[in-house]
Amino acid sequence: MNEREDILQTVYQVILDRKANPGENSYTSSLIQKGIDKILKKIGEEATEVVIASKGGKHDEIVYETADLIFHLLIMLGYHSIPPAEVYDELRRRFGTSGLAEKAARSSTFHS
């Protein structure tokens, strides 16, 4: 596991801990307890903030907002008990494949 995967895995483990042992002062526990709709709303908000930051072109804002988005995606994965390693595996599977070919294959898989 490389350093980047390690921090994501570490954050994910904390999220799973907050899910299993909710704390009253934990933002993560609170969000998980509010359910998937609230988590997805936060992901949408954070994705919009990434778009705005990118449009503004300010490096630090892009980094900050992207970290927020990734954090909330990790909460969503934790909610569904999907380890980040499954996402890494999917990215590895796609690596070296034409994006257009991969998308076409995915469309036939998800719509059958």
- Mean pLDDT for back-to-back runs of 10 residues, the chain (112 residues): 77 97 95 98 98 98 98 98 95 81 67 57
Domain extent for 28: 3-81
Q: Is residue 101 part of a domain?
A: no
- C-alpha distance from residue 67 to each of 50, 71, 105 (Å): 9, 6, 30
Give the three-state DSSP class for 87: helix
Tally of domains within the chain: 1
Longest dimension (CA), the chain: 47
Cβ neighbours of residue 69 under 8 Å, at least 6 residues apart? Answer: 43, 46, 47, 49, 50
Q: Structure pTM? A: 0.84
| CATH label of the domain that carries residue 70 | 1.10.287.1080
